[in-house]
Amino acid sequence: MADADARAVAAELAWLARVIEARITHFLKEPGAPFRPEAPPAPTPGSALTALVAEGPLDPQARLVLALALAPQVQPALLDPFFLRNSAIDRGFTEFGGTRPETGGFQPNVDTALFLIAGTDPAARIAAMAHLGPDRPLRRAGLSIAGGALTLPPYRAMALLQGRAPEPDFSADFPAKRLTTALDWEDLVLPDAVMHRIGHILGWLEHEGRILRDWGLGRSLGQGFRALFHGPPGTGKTLTAALLGKRTGQPVYRIDLSMVVSKYIGETEKNLAGVFDQAAERGWILFFDEADALFGTRSSGGTANDRHANQEVAYLLQRIEDCPGLVILATNLRGNIDEAFFRRFHAAILFPRPDARQRERLWRGVLGGAVPLEGDVDFGEMARAHDLSGGSINNVVRHAAVTALRRGAARIGARDLGDAVAQELQKEGRTP
């Protein structure tokens, strides 16, 4: 519905331009007279903006403020009237608020919004401030007034312009990456007891609304679900996180902890805040891989650097606790995590190394499809003989496939697999 979205935003901004013009004229010519702003444009059916206005709900004044915050990104020249100079003092009008950078367009702030709604009348301005309070529709719509500047996050602006927000790019500013998998729920091989506990997380995701809202348990239980996945490498922790998202249709974002703890004070918080804010708003599942890096730094005292790292970790843990959605932390080590933190998880699930029966299913899962095999390949035999994780089995298969093709064979044989197993065990520091 991108067309309707663009039309709705264009109409809204054209309206904003007319109100700015009228407001400034009124201010310059007849400040004592009542000011009656033009009514906002009629709804554009099927547009994200109209949906947002209805959902807010946003009244005409709130709409004006939203349009004002949107303008710098979409049509900055529209705010040029605010550059008007006050000839008495040879500078811009203080009444308009905002900042006037050397280059680029006028940056509206809270004062600009109040001027637009209420002119210079103190009582009316105080009343208008209510629009900007926390938990008001405008703030829920994403409007930020941090530091007094009136801004709308770019992904929010994009959502209004195109009907949906873009997927963020991985960068230092956004230290999270979308996690997906080509595998399906049926491919997951785990003991029944573990599957049952994972099913419980799925159950939470499916019934959360009913439990917290319909049954009114939100007040006592609080929002969010925090799960700890622990266990040896290659046992399916990352895969399970990806599958939970695939099953529920919620994007899963993996946070790269190595990019998170930044050497610039305050940067970490800012970068993470973007991830957590979007996760809360857009219903993402957050996945912290190798979370032991987090707990390792939780020492007391130490150097200034250590203390700084501790502070960042404390912030991160706090955001994890406050997150209204599902947060999964994965680690190979259970011992490192202090008990106080462990108790805050709603579920802690051990991913064990697969037993022989599960390994046979894993072998079959990887090789049972269209892969050409020699007659001497015996899944049951391989499963019994080699204690390998699912991740290791993948490595073995990759190695064996290359070996077979390199020796000119068209099929993978038992010997290719045997050699590859030996390689893998050696790599893992074990002897065949």
Ligand X SMILES: Nc1ncnc2c1ncn2[C@@H]1O[C@H](COP(=O)(O)OP(=O)(O)OP(=O)(O)O)[C@@H](O)[C@H]1O
168 binds, among ligand X, Mg ion, none (CB under 5 to 8 A by kind): none
Cα separations (Å) of 395 from 366, 371, 386, 421? 11, 15, 13, 9
Of residues 112 and 238, the one with the C-beta less far from Mg ion: 238
413 binds, among Mg ion, ligand X, none (CB under 5 to 8 A by kind): none
What are the start-end ranges of the H helices in 283-409? 292-296, 304-322, 339-342, 356-367, 379-385, 390-406
Q: What is the Cα–Cα distance from 246 to 185, expressed in whole angstroms?
A: 9
What is the contact surface with ligand X in residues (CB under 6 A)? Answer: 187-190, 233-239, 332, 351, 362, 390-391, 394
For residue 424, the minimal CB distance to ligand X (Å) is 12
188 binds, among ligand X, Mg ion, none (CB under 5 to 8 A by kind): ligand X
For residue 295, the minimal CB distance to ligand X (Å) is 15
For residue 205, the minimal CB distance to Mg ion (Å) is 20
Q: Using CB positions, name the residue nearest to ligand X.
A: 390
Of residues 156 and 237, the one with the C-beta less far from Mg ion: 237
Range 386-415, binding Mg ion (CB under 5 A):
none
Structure tokens at 53: 């206005």
Report which residue type is found at 201. I
155 binds, among Mg ion, ligand X, none (CB under 5 to 8 A by kind): none
For residue 391, the minimal CB distance to Mg ion (Å) is 8
For residue 253, the minimal CB distance to ligand X (Å) is 15
Structure tokens at 294: 């987090």
262 binds, among ligand X, Mg ion, none (CB under 5 to 8 A by kind): none
Of residues 165 and 383, the one with the C-beta less far from ligand X: 383
Structure tokens at 389: 């994780």
Of residues 168 and 391, the one with the C-beta less far from ligand X: 391
Q: What is the Cα–Cα distance from 324 to 279, expressed in whole angstroms?
A: 9
Contacts of 193 (CB under 8 A, 6+ apart): none
244 binds, among ligand X, Mg ion, none (CB under 5 to 8 A by kind): none
Site string for Mg ion, 197-236 (x = CB under 5 A): ----------------------------------------
For residue 431, the minimal CB distance to ligand X (Å) is 21
Half-sphere exposure of 334 (CA within 13 A, CB side): 14
Of the residues 238, 240, 268, 395, which one makes contact with Mg ion according to CB under 5 A: 238
Q: What is the Cα–Cα distance from 181 to 241, expressed in whole angstroms?
A: 10
Q: What is the DSSP letter of 77?
A: G
Beta-bridge partners for 254: 177, 287
Torsion sign across C-alpha atoms 142, 146, 151, 153: negative
For residue 286, the minimal CB distance to Mg ion (Å) is 14
For residue 181, the minimal CB distance to Mg ion (Å) is 12
Q: What is the DSSP letter of 197?
A: H
Q: Using CB positions, name the residue nearest to Mg ion.
A: 238
Pairing of strands 347-350, 285-288: unpaired
Q: What is the DSSP letter of 133?
A: S
Of residues 156 and 359, the one with the C-beta less far from ligand X: 359
288 binds, among Mg ion, ligand X, none (CB under 5 to 8 A by kind): none
Of residues 68 and 179, the one with the C-beta less far from ligand X: 179
As a dihedral over the C-alpha atoms of residue 347, residue 353, residue 356, residue 357, rounded to 10 degrees, the angle is 20
96 binds, among ligand X, Mg ion, none (CB under 5 to 8 A by kind): none
3-state secondary structure of 362: helix
Cis peptide leading into residue 57 (ω within 30°):
yes
Q: Summarize as ranges the residues that interact with Mg ion (CB under 5 A).
A: 237-238
